[in-house]
Amino acid sequence: MRHRVFSAMAAMATILMVTGCSASDVDKTKTTAIPPVAKDVSTSDLAQGKVQFREANYGLAEQHFRKAVELKADNAEAWMGLAASYDELGRFDFADRAYDQLLKVAGRKPRIVNNMGYSQLLRGNRKKAEALLLEAKAGMKDPAVVNANLALLNKG
């Protein structure tokens, strides 16, 4: 009895192997139902971080920007957003770390120095803020944003 069951199973396996799917049976048509995956997955977190920052949801913005830099450590825009989010949350210790990393990734650019100056303004470090803002103003073609930050500094 055992021999017959084994023989029957062996025969069934042989039939399945012979009549099974061949490579020509596979559907090779492309589907449009599933969008292609973005090559840089950090871009979706970067975009979400910007949206949340504009809507003043700084905690959510921080989460998205942090995820973006974790996925792509050389993303200067994400580091800038992360530092600015930390500034708005009053987490200046983390903001300083993010600015340090941003400077390593992007270099000392006027826009970055402007944000660093605004960070010092938020902390109440008026002299340091002024020095950074003046440095940023000297390097910018259109210093409108820096002038606005300087006006805030002079107001207080």
Q: What is the CATH number of domain 40-107?
A: 1.25.40.10
pLDDT of residue 29: 57
Q: In whole angstroms, what is the distance from residue 68 CA to residue 78 CA? A: 6
Burial letters for 86-111: b for 16+ Cβ neighbours within 10 Å, e otherwise?
Answer: bbbeebbebbeebbebbbebbeebbe
Q: How far is C-alpha 73 from the geometric centre of its chain's CA atoms? A: 9
Mean pLDDT over each residue of the chain, to the nearest integer: 86
Q: In whole angstroms, what is the distance from residue 61 CA to residue 80 CA? A: 12
For the CA atoms of 23, 26, 27, 33, the dihedral, rounded to the nearest 10 degrees, stands at -120
Residue 31: is its pLDDT beyond 80? no
How many secondary structure helices (H) and strands (E) does the chain include?
8, 0
For the CA atoms of 96, 102, 148, 56, the dihedral, rounded to the nearest 10 degrees, stands at -80
Question: Domain residue spans in the chain?
Answer: 40-107, 109-156
Q: How far is C-alpha 65 from the geometric centre of its chain's CA atoms? A: 4
CA distances from 14 to 1, 9, 19, 22, 36 (A): 20, 9, 9, 15, 39
Average the pLDDT over 129-146 and give the result: 96
pLDDT in tens, 55-114: 999 999 999 999 999 999 999 999 999 999 999 999 999 999 999 999 999 999 999 999
Which pTM does this prediction carry?
0.73
Phi, psi of 37 (to 5 degrees): -75, 135
pLDDT of residue 43: 83
Comparing CA positions, the residue from 106, 104, 95 lying closest to residue 61 is 95
